[in-house]
Structure formats: C-alpha cells, structure tokens
Amino acid sequence: MFVLPPPPTSTKNALPGLLPKRKGHDNLAPVPEDQEFVNAPPEFADRARDEIHKRLLGTRIRKNSTTESHSSRLSQNRDRQSRPDSDTLSLATTSTNGSSVFSTSGHTTATGSTGSTGFSGLTSTSSAASFIGYIDKPRSVSLQDALPKTFYDMYASDLLLDPHNLLCNGRPKFTKRELLDWDLNDIRSLLIVERLRPEWGYQFPVIEFDTTSITTSSSSAKTPVPQFRFQLLPLDSPDDMIIRCLVESDLYLEANLDYEFKLTSARYTVSAARKRHEQLVGRHEPVMRLSKPEWRNIIENYLLNIAVEAQCRFDFKRHCAEYKKWKQQQALVKKPDMPPPSTIPQRKREPSLLRKTLLKNTAIKSTSSTPEETLPTAANTAFKNPNFKVSLTKDEKSMLWSQCQSQVYLRLGLDWTPDRV
C-alpha cells in the first residue's frame, strides 16, 4: 500500500510551467506569484469533465461485469491491481479548500474493495443462511436421551425419604401399575415437559425410537410402532390449557377412547387439583402457579383414570364373549323329558280314579312327543341352527361391567365405586 505525499501548499510546485505561460499570454492579466489560487483554462476544465465521464462510465460497466461470476471478479481485481500508476490517475475538480487541482483516483482500491466486499458479503450471507437452516431444522434425539434422568423434583420429599418405597429408577412404587400398556403410556407421560431445554435449541426435537427392539409375531400382521413426541405444559398454565393438553396427548392412543370420556376425565382431574391447590395456598388464583409435584400429580392422575377405563373396557369385552359362549352352550344342553310341574300330582293317601286317569294321559303324551318339542324356545332354536348367535340383555351387560370394575379396583387397591354401563 502506497501513501501519497500531502498536497503542495503552493501552486508553483503543483503546476510547473503553467504559471509562466499564463503570465506570458497577451490577453490575460498577470497574476502575482504570491497568490495561492489558480483558475484552470476552459479547455482544461472541459477535458477534465470528459475524462471523468469516461472513467465513471467504464467503472460502472466493469462493476456490472464483476457480479456475473466469482472467478472473473477475482481475476479482474488482480489485473487492476497490477496496472501501472499512470492508469490510476484521474482528473478531478478542485477541492473545497482549493488546495489541489489533480488527485490520485481510488478507482483500483474502490473496485478491489467492492469485489472483496461482495465476496465477503456472499460468504457471510451463506454462513447466515446455513446457521438459520441449522436452527430451523429440528434436531433428533433418542428416546433414552429424551426421558428425564432424575425425578426428585417431581414428587414430595416425604415420598422419597423411604428407600423401600422407591423403584430402581428413583420413582415411588405407586408409579408402577399392573394395567394394560401402562409402561408405554407412562413413558409418554414423562415426555410432557414444563419448559424447553437449552440443549434443544429451545425447540422440540424429533424423538427417534429404535424399532429393532420390537419383536414381531410370526403372523403376517406387523406390530404397530408406538408414537412418541414432546408436549409443553408450563407450570403457570390456565385450566383450559391443561385440559386441552391432556385430552390431545398420546396417552392410551391405541385404546381409542372416546373424546367425551377423555374430556370429562381431564376436567375432573383439573378440578380436584384446583381444590387441593387452594387448600395449600389458602386463596383462590385465577391461574394456578403449580409446583412441580402438583404439576406431575395432575398428569399421573389423568393417566390413571384413562388407564383404568381402558383396562375395564378390555376386560368387559372378554367377559362378554365368554358369557355369550356359556349361554350358547347352555342352550344346546338336552333337557330331560319331564312333565310340567303343574301336572305332577301331590302325594295323598287315597288317590282318586280321576287323578290316576290324568297321570296315565300325561305319560302317553310325553312318550309320543319328540325331544325337540320338550326343549325351550331358545334351546330348540339352537338345536335346529348350530350357528345361532346369543345376545346379552342390558341387565347382563350392566352386571358384567360392574364385575370388571370391581375386580380392577380391588387389584389396584382403589376405593372407587363401580358404576353402571
């Protein structure tokens, strides 16, 4: 990089030979030598203006051509930098302080800086685009990394003091239930988080599940792959948001529970949690500011409600099928050929002649009738049609449903009251 000397303070050194010619001209008045300002002749001004226009026009054309490709821009920059200093000189108008008439143009430097600026701009733009794409692209984590590693903040301290009441993972024993698909849906409940983690980039990553761990059956039907996803439920969520999060979760997705039941269960769970929270804080809050154990208790209570319902419905379908099979077998049983109870005479000491005649006629009718006629209507129908389907009455279904609920409640140690269908 070359540094130009400061402009001369006198016009004698700046324009040698110009001042004597000006003094020797007949039509121009002589200019004293001590005067520091010189006016250029008109032909010099016109020539300088034309030269400036040419230089500027050429610079614009070269700038437009340099944007076409990066390789041509770099080669042009090297060519411009290797030109002699005579090509970099340009005429310019006098400065505001009138210190000089000619100056060295920054054409080469400006062009080179423009090219380098454009290259650095493209580099920074591509880097920014790649960084934005890195942020926008959702990350992926394994299911093992997605689950929490510790649970000490999810439960009250008095539940964690006794190590005999804890599982091997540090959770209380009541978090393990002998219910249908409990482990799968308990994992899903642990994916409901109260905040985003910084290592996720403050957005939910995609959970990858290793499907090789699923053992497929020998039949042609494939084992369905369970779904796992994160859900956000802050500690200071309104009641409606808590209810919506619970209903729209993947908890017991495979059970196909109806929406109305899930909505009713979620509302009941949140209402009970609000009562306990108001008793704890001693005041009513429009929006509950839950602690972590209260927050986790809402999720686990809702999970238990729908898990018990799914188990009862599964058992109810199985018991109904077994009861229908039993009724069909009872209908096919052949009844003994006995007369109606009203025709059987009571024992008396001296039977009358009329009674003897009735007994004789009844015996003749029973021997002459076919076995199909002596069966009841349902049994007779089943005897004629072996594919006869037996249906259950409403009372029988209500009885079976209450039995299923009682058995599940008793097995889990719940003091719930069975209801009717």
Interatomic CA distance for residues 31 and 24, integer angstroms: 10
* Residue 401 covered by a domain: yes
Domain range for 49: 43-92+102-116
* Three-state SS at 33: coil
Question: Which residues sit opposite 141 in a β-bridge?
Answer: 207
Report helix angle 292-331 to 377-384, nearest 10: 80
Residue 306 is predicted with a pLDDT of 98
Look up residue 47 and give its amino acid.
R
Helix (H) or strand (E) holding 89: strand 89-91
pLDDT tier for residue 101 given thresholds of 50, 70 and 90: very low
Residue 140 in tokens: 């992926």
- Mean pLDDT on 240-268: 96
The verdict on 282 and 365 lying in the same domain is: no
Residue 104 is predicted with a pLDDT of 40
The verdict on 108 and 156 lying in the same domain is: no
- Mean pLDDT on 246-258: 96
- Percentage with pLDDT > 70 across the chain: 55
Eight-state DSSP code of residue 138? P
The verdict on 164 and 292 lying in the same domain is: yes
* Residue 299 covered by a domain: yes
Using the 3D structure, point to which of 305, 336, 367 is the last residue of a domain.
305
Tens of pLDDT, residue by residue over 34-63, are 555 556 667 667 777 777 777 777 655 555
Residue 97 is predicted with a pLDDT of 44
Number of domains in the chain: 3
Closest CA to 261 of 308, 226, 295, 192: 308
* Three-state SS at 389: coil
Pairing relationship of beta strands 231-232 and 192-193 according to DSSP bridges: parallel
* Three-state SS at 348: coil
The verdict on 50 and 152 lying in the same domain is: no
Residue 43 in tokens: 């032909």
* Residue 30 covered by a domain: no
**What distances in angstroms separate CA 305 from CA 154, 168, 230, 415, one per listed residue?**
19, 25, 21, 13
Q: Which residue has the higher pLDDT, 152 or 345?
A: 152
* Residue 57 covered by a domain: yes
The verdict on 168 and 289 lying in the same domain is: yes
Report helix angle 182-190 to 292-331, nearest 10: 160
Residue 217 is predicted with a pLDDT of 44
* Residue 127 covered by a domain: no
The answer to whether residue 139 scores a pLDDT higher than 90 is no
Interatomic CA distance for residues 206 and 203, integer angstroms: 10
Cα torsion 104, 110, 113, 119: sign: negative
The verdict on 252 and 332 lying in the same domain is: no
Collect all residues with Cβ–Cβ distance below 8 Å to 59 and sequence separation of at least 6: 107, 110, 111
* Residue 62 covered by a domain: yes
Residue 328 is predicted with a pLDDT of 86
Residue 391 is predicted with a pLDDT of 87
Residue 399 is predicted with a pLDDT of 93
The verdict on 254 and 159 lying in the same domain is: yes
Tens of pLDDT, residue by residue over 334-348, are 666 656 666 555 665
Residue 95 in tokens: 């400065």
Q: How far is CA 40 from the centre of its chain?
A: 76
The verdict on 152 and 291 lying in the same domain is: yes
Pairing relationship of beta strands 206-208 and 89-91 according to DSSP bridges: unpaired
* Three-state SS at 232: strand
Q: What is the mean pLDDT of the chain?
A: 74
Residue 107 is predicted with a pLDDT of 42
Residue 283 is predicted with a pLDDT of 93
The verdict on 261 and 187 lying in the same domain is: yes
The verdict on 326 and 365 lying in the same domain is: yes
- Mean pLDDT on 74-82: 54
The answer to whether residue 79 scores a pLDDT higher than 60 is no
Residue 62 is predicted with a pLDDT of 59
The verdict on 326 and 293 lying in the same domain is: no
* Residue 294 covered by a domain: yes
Report helix angle 259-281 to 239-247, nearest 10: 140
Number of H helices, E strands in the chain: 15, 6
Interatomic CA distance for residues 421 and 410, integer angstroms: 19
The verdict on 298 and 336 lying in the same domain is: no
* Residue 34 covered by a domain: no
Q: Which residue has the higher pLDDT, 366 or 285?
A: 285
